[in-house]
Each structure stands twice: as structure tokens, then as C-alpha cells.
Structure 1
Amino acid sequence: MLQEVLKQHQSTFQPVITLLHPDEQLLVMDFTANNTTLTKPILNNIDRFCSYITHTLADSGCRLGIGGYNEHRTIYAVSPHFDAGEEPRRLHLGIDVWGLAETPVSAPLNGHVHSFRFNDDFGDYGATIILQHQLDGYTFHTLYGHLSISNLQGLYERMPIAAGQPFAWFGTPSENGGWPPHLHFQVIIDMMHYRGDYPGVCRYSERDKYLQNCPDPDLILQLNRNTHG
């Protein structure tokens, strides 16, 4: 299984987000219904939402926040992007790392550009880059969402990206789908027909199918060991 291969190679992966020091702490951020401080008036105003993230991190003494894999998120009710069809999409399939705009993003291992796109619907990824990797006979992909649109300039499919190479940074709300600055990082085995996009949120009824295709991103990120909160 890919999960076992990723575990075996963890010591070789380069940081996607470089920490200031090995023991830097990240704040676990909860975007489920359990977080009663994140109210609709905050979610519906991007300036207030950005301020909420900034102050929550500052109050905890942390530069970065993290969380979200396999999390049932009520916050997606604010965007019609997640509500098409009879059952809304609420289950988050990636890990979010929250921080300042222009926080650098690097490749964890060698790969190449699979595809990229500006997914500009409100609540979507905004600027998105997907890399493809080979490891011990497995092919898989890493998706980077909510980037700066300038990161798409000069890219081409199959462009090599080396392990540890900075290739993007956190975008601003005007270019990242209307969110406070953060990185959505997701591991995807089978891209199916998608290019420059792949669901980062699924219907709860499809949870098992999507989680099987999108294993825990922290197998690569390895940031949850630095968390508190």
C-alpha cells in the first residue's frame, strides 16, 4: 500500500513548509461545528475571517495553524460551491496549513507538474498546482491549493520539480478562492479525469471511497507531531 511506502520514506521527505526550528509549534485549528467562536458573520466577511485567523494564531503564540484531514466542516455552508446536488459536500480531504500570504511552499520529493489551473469560483482552490511522483513503483500526486496566481506563470505539464525546491507560496484572498491565506495540501493516488483540480471536500456518504484515494497528507507533511491546542 502507498501508505506503508510513504511511512518507510518519511525520513527522506523535504519540508513542504519550512519551520523556523525543529520544535516550532503549530496550532490545531478546528473548523467543525464544535468551534462556536467561528460564527457566520465572521465566515461571511473575508476581512473578519482573516482577522480571526491572525488573532487566533497570535493569541496562541504560533506562526502557523494546521488541521482538517477527515474533518466534517460546517464552514462550507457559506459557499454554494459545496452545495450542488441533494447532499452537500462537507468532509475535508486534505490538510490546511494557515499562515501569512507569501509563506513559501516546497516539493517534498522529486516529481513533475501533472497539471495546474486557476479555480476561481468563490470557495474553490484559486491557483492550484498538482505534482506527480514515483516512489517504489507507486505513482501518486500531491495537490497544492490556494496559491498565488503568479505561481502558475511559466509552468508547463511534466516540468520537473526537485525535492526541496520552492515553487509556490500562499495566495491572498483575491487569488486563492476567497479564503484567509493558507495551503491546502492533499495526497491523491488516482487523479481520474481531473486536471488542475480534484475534490478537496466530499459528501459524507462518499467518505470511504475518497479517503481510500486520498491518504493522510501528514504521512508526507509530518507536522502534526509539532502541534498543540
Structure 2
Amino acid sequence: MTTQAFSQLLNELGNPSLYVLDPSISKSDYVALDLSKSNDALNTVDVSSSETLEQYINSYIIKNNAKVAYGGYLETRNIYQRSSYFKDINPETERNIHLGLDLWIAAETPIFSPLDAEVHSFKNNTNHGDYGPTIILKHTIENMEFYTLYGHLSLASIQNLQVGQVFKQGHQIGTLGDASVNGDYAPHLHIQIIKDVQGFVGDYPGVCSKLDLEFYKGNCLDPELLLSLK
């Protein structure tokens, strides 16, 4: 499947928009959030602290009369510098470009499958700053296979899961975790679309370096194509 064909398929599937949060939350209740290193408002925020970042995000949501903050696809972020898992002294190979879309909302929020799917794999990724509990779903549509990844879930989301388990569109797949299990972040969902999962199991890079960006831009398209939040 070419990137163009993949993009076209996602566009068609996302019209009308699909959902991974409660569909009763209207689009007007979502507000775009910039966590890139170019956002000067973050200069006074200790983004290495999950508590401080959560306070900042919650205040931002309240100030904008919203329920969910979203954004982050291909954002270059400073937040990953707190973790040796991502940090690198070489700016070309440091992994700081975000490959998914983040939906910032409270822990225990239910997460739903946007499409018919089966469980490809799941895992608790416990590195500092990593996904924590993660589910990868496989979708087969019009003879095309692709994957969606859901990171920063609760431990309960993966406890009774089985590879091959089927979820129908709109069925709940799990709930969001808090900072104690989700890689030490403010509660949020990381959703990522993956064309070729490359043999990964329960994990796939959600952040890349400048050096690898062109590959990942073609393999991990914008989840906005499905969710249509803008």
C-alpha cells in the first residue's frame, strides 16, 4: 500500500469523523494544545514534572471552556529531555518529534476502538517517559491492513486482553492510566496510526529523530485523518 493510497483510505474512513473518546463529547469541547519547544508559554512550566504539566494542561482546558485538549502530531518537544530513553547529545539523532496525536483528559476515561479491529499485541512499556500499558489494534479494510496504537492506558486495560480478540467499532478497549503507570505523564491518550508495524509487539516508536523523520511521516500518518477534530 502506497502512502498516497493509505492517506486516501484514512480520509474516506474519517468522513464522517470517528471517535476514540465518548462520542457525547462534541468537537466544540476539544481545544488544540501546543506542547512544542517553540511555545514560549512553556518556558515557565516544569514539563519534566507530570504534576506541574497536568496543572498547566487542566488550567488551559478550563480557560478555553473545553473538556479535552488535543494535538502533537509531528511536534518537536522538549518534554522528552527528562528521560535517557529519548535523550541524545546529537540533535540529529535525539528522539523528540512526536508521531501520534495526544488527547489530554482525566485518568480512567474510557477509550473506544474507532473501527472494527482485532488485538495485534499489547505490553506494559515501563521505561521512564514510555507508553506504560499499550494496545495495538489491527484493522483490515478493503484488503488493506494497518494498525492503531493506544498508549498511556491503565494496567486494567491489558490484564484480561488476548491477542486476536475482536473489537467492533465503538466498543471500549480500555481506560486511561495515571502518572503512576503511564510513563509518568499527565493523563492522556497517545493514538498513532501505523502502516507497517515492522515486527514490533505491544510497542512502536512514538517519538523519532530528525534523521528518521521522513520514514516515519510516511509510515505514521496524522490521526486527524480519522478523528477530524480541527
Decide: shared fold, TM above 0.5.
yes
Q: What's the TM-score once normalised by structure 1's chain length?
A: 0.92
Displacement of 1:46 in angstroms is: 2.2
Letter in structure 1 aligned against 2:124: F
Does 1:54 pair with 2:50? no
SS of 2:7's partner is helix
Give the alignment of 1:1-229 within 5 angstroms. 1-11=5-15, 14-39=18-43, 42-84=46-88, 86=90, 87-223=93-229, 225=230
1:14/1:163 contact within 8 Å kept: no
Task: State, as a whole percentage, how many aligned pairs show the same letter.
Answer: 35
Displacement of 1:14 in angstroms is: 4.1
Letter in structure 1 aligned against 2:210: Y
How far apart are the structure 2 equivalents of 1:29 and 1:21? 17
Displacement of 1:67 in angstroms is: 0.4
Q: What's the TM-score once normalised by structure 2's chain length?
A: 0.92
Letter in structure 2 aligned against 1:194: F
Displacement of 1:28 in angstroms is: 1.1
SS of 1:42's partner is coil
Letter in structure 1 aligned against 2:104: W
SS of 2:85's partner is helix
SS of 1:71's partner is coil
Letter in structure 2 aligned against 1:68: G
1:142/1:187 contact within 8 Å kept: yes
SS of 1:55's partner is helix
RMSD: 1.7
Displacement of 1:19 in angstroms is: 4.2
Deviations along 1:47-103, one digit per CA (max 9) or x if unpaired, are 222111111111111110000111111221122111257421011110000011111
Distance change (3 Å), C-alpha of 1:192 and 1:49? same
Letter in structure 2 aligned against 1:108: P
- Which moved further from structure 2: 87-96 or 22-31? 22-31
How far apart are the structure 1 equivalents of 2:127 and 2:17? 32
How far apart are the structure 2 equivalents of 1:161 and 1:20? 20
Distance change (3 Å), C-alpha of 1:116 and 1:20? same
How far apart are the structure 2 equivalents of 1:136 and 1:217? 19
Letter in structure 2 aligned against 1:207: L
Letter in structure 1 aligned against 2:216: Y
How far apart are the structure 1 equivalents of 2:190 and 2:175? 11
Displacement of 1:12 in angstroms is: 6.2
Letter in structure 1 aligned against 2:9: V
- Specify every segment of 5 or more residues in structure 1 that has no aligned partner in the other structure, as ranges: none
Letter in structure 1 aligned against 2:10: L
Letter in structure 2 aligned against 1:125: Y
Displacement of 1:44 in angstroms is: 2.6
2:15/2:226 contact within 8 Å kept: no
Displacement of 1:22 in angstroms is: 3.6
Distance change (3 Å), C-alpha of 1:21 and 1:130? closer
Distance change (3 Å), C-alpha of 1:113 and 1:21? closer
1:27/1:57 contact within 8 Å kept: yes
Displacement of 1:37 in angstroms is: 2.5
- Which moved further from structure 2: 19-28 or 111-120? 19-28
